[in-house]
Amino acid sequence: MKLPQRNSLLLIFLLGLLLRFSLIFYDYSWDINNHIVWAKDLWERGFTGFYEVRSSEVFASPYPNYPPFSIVLFYIIYPIQSFIDQIAWQINLALPLFPSKLIFFIQSRTFLAALMKLPAIFADLGLAYLIYVFSQKLKLGNQITSKLVTTFIVFNPAFFYNSSLWGQIDSVPIFLALLSIYLLLYSHKHWLSSFLFTAAILIKPTALVYLPVYIFIFLKKFGLALTFRSLTINLVTFYIPFIPFLKNFNHPLLPFQIFSEKIMAAQSLPFVTNGAFNFWVLIKGFAGMRDTMPFLFGISYRIWGYITVGIFTALILKSFWRQTKSIDRVLKRSVITSLQHDTVKNVFHAFFLIAFVCFLFLTKMHERYSILPLPFLLIAALRDKKLLKWFIILSFISLLNLYHSWPVPKFGSITDLLYLPLVTFSLSFSNLIIFFYLLKYFVKIRHANNRRSSTSL
């Protein structure tokens, strides 16, 4: 039965929201305790010297290791529990039929943890809406098809498991980065676009995986001079949010030092892989090997990861560079032809590949970072249906990767199966094979588009 055209999109989002709310109180990850403690400490101690003072409760990291915007986000959410508790208490006093035991639940840590999940839940739905907007821009087809595409995010288990059950905030920087890319491609609001991208990094540094392609597109659209000015302004934008957290200004680069040493370096456990089904599982499994240990030729695993990602990034950007004229035409025209829609598709294919290569070859990768490439592959699939099956397969592998690290609810047979070395090896190897296939496909399609572009000229 067809959904009513007028209300179908709203219905999809309401069902997605209800799905997430049905899971929000079930359980939460260890990391949410950090979010709660950082918010509590900020309310009780104030902002000054926040990154230099040990947390009042230690669950994983003894010191705060998230950027300022995410810390402030937790800070804003924290008092909501008290506000709801006061309202519920007043209702309880006024209405004898009110279930008094609900007050104790509202006061519980489980309820506060659920509140901390809200930004990621709404970011999930924001991502889905952006997919819908892109489907309209890329002339996907009729309205029903465009709306149904949103279900690949709204009802994607990898996303709602990560946000509404586990409670991770990875969807938030993805949403901000994707919104900034939309503005970059389809408007001339370059200041707002670059601000949103900087905000994504200030929520979580994982947004940095999109930076190479973002800068490339920015350069092609606005030129070197405006790109340099925008970069300068955004360095200031990046700098300012750290100022309230500083105890003193020992040197002008202190915010960058905090970001490098207390956030980037301390963001993850110091192992070759932190649960990610990636290349390093094929080499060391989940042995807990520190990434600073020597690998080949006395060079550490970490440096080899940087080298590998650097090489692949250069290859992908080189492929972009060879279609410079085609990209220029897309970015400088308000009306985009079918051929140019295909070029935009290649842009998102490139975003996907670079995010995926970071997940596969950088060390210290967490399992939840497997969702970073997925929305970009889905947008590329809007213009190339052959990519959709790979989005579905990678979403499934991502879900298994998440469940391998945090098996909630626990199904003994599935958990035991996922812990078998042969299974984790096979899934990691599958990720690697899919990457190389889609990289080859990207280069092949790019050559085909170049031939079509030269013919149209």
For the chain, what is the HEC assignment? Answer: CCCCCCCHHHHHHHHHHHHHHHHCCCCCCHHHHHHHHHHHHHHHHCCCCHHHCCCCCCCCCCCCCCCHHHHHHHHHHCCHHHHHHHHHHHHHHHCCCCCCHHHHHHCCHHHHHHHHCHHHHHHHHHHHHHHHHHHHHCCCCCHHHHHHHCHHHHCCHHHHHHHHHHCCCCHHHHHHHHHHHHHHHHCCCHHHHHHHHHHHHHHCHHHHHHHHHHHHHHHHHHHHHHHHHHHHHHHHHHHHHHHHHCCCCCCCCHHHHHHHHHHHCCCCCCECEEECCCHHHHHHCCCCCECCCEEECCEEHHHHHHHHHHHHHHHHHHHHHCCHHHHHHHHCCCCCCHHHHHHHHHHHHHHHHHHHHHHHHCCCEEHHHHHCCHHHHHHHHCCCHHHHHHHHHHHHHHHHHHHHHCCCCCCHHHHHHHCCHHHHHHHHHHHHHHHHHHHHHHHHHHHHHHHHHHHHC
Query: How many CB atoms lie under 10 A from the CB of residue 159?
Result: 31
Give the Cα-Cα-Cα angle 392, 393, 397 (nearest 5 degrees): 120
8 Å CB contact between 29 and 406: yes
Instruction: For the chain, give every domain's residue range.
Output: 8-27+121-456
Q: What is the mean pLDDT of the chain?
A: 89
Specify the higher pLDDT residue, 293 or 6: 293
* Dist CA 83 CA 24 (whole Å): 19
- Write down the pLDDT at residue 449: 56
pLDDT of 230 higher than 80: yes
| pLDDT bracket for residue 55 (50, 70, 90) | very high
Query: What is the C-alpha end-to-end distance of the chain, expressed in Å?
Result: 46
Q: Which of 251-260, 337-346, 364-373 has the highest average model confidence (pLDDT)?
A: 364-373
Specify the higher pLDDT residue, 270 or 199: 199
| pLDDT bracket for residue 176 (50, 70, 90) | very high
Average the pLDDT over 339-346 and give the result.
70
pLDDT of 453 higher than 50: no
Specify the higher pLDDT residue, 320 or 277: 277
* Dist CA 93 CA 413 (whole Å): 48
C-alpha to C-alpha distances, 51 to 247, 264, 425, nearest whole angstrom: 9, 13, 38
- Write down the pLDDT at residue 145: 75
| pLDDT bracket for residue 344 (50, 70, 90) | confident
- Write down the pLDDT at residue 338: 44
| pLDDT bracket for residue 331 (50, 70, 90) | low
Average the pLDDT over 15-43 and give the result.
95
- Write down the pLDDT at residue 414: 86
Task: For residue range 100-136, list pLDDT tens digits in order.
Answer: 889 999 999 999 999 999 999 999 999 999 999 999 8
- Write down the pLDDT at residue 59: 84
Handedness of CA 354, 357, 361, 366 (dihedral sign): positive
CA 448 to chain centre: 31
Asked whether the whole model's pTM tops 0.85, one would answer: yes
Question: Worst-scoring range by mean pLDDT, 54-68, 210-224, 319-333, 421-435?
Answer: 319-333
Average the pLDDT over 146-166 and give the result.
94
The full length of the chain comes to: 457
| pLDDT bracket for residue 2 (50, 70, 90) | very low
pLDDT of 207 higher than 90: yes
* Cis peptide preceding 409, ω within 30 of 0: yes
What is the Cβ-side half-sphere exposure of residue 133, based on CA atoms within 13 angstroms? 15
C-alpha to C-alpha distances, 89 to 93, 95, 97, 115, nearest whole angstrom: 6, 10, 13, 18
Question: Worst-scoring range by mean pLDDT, 176-180, 251-255, 425-429, 449-453?
Answer: 449-453
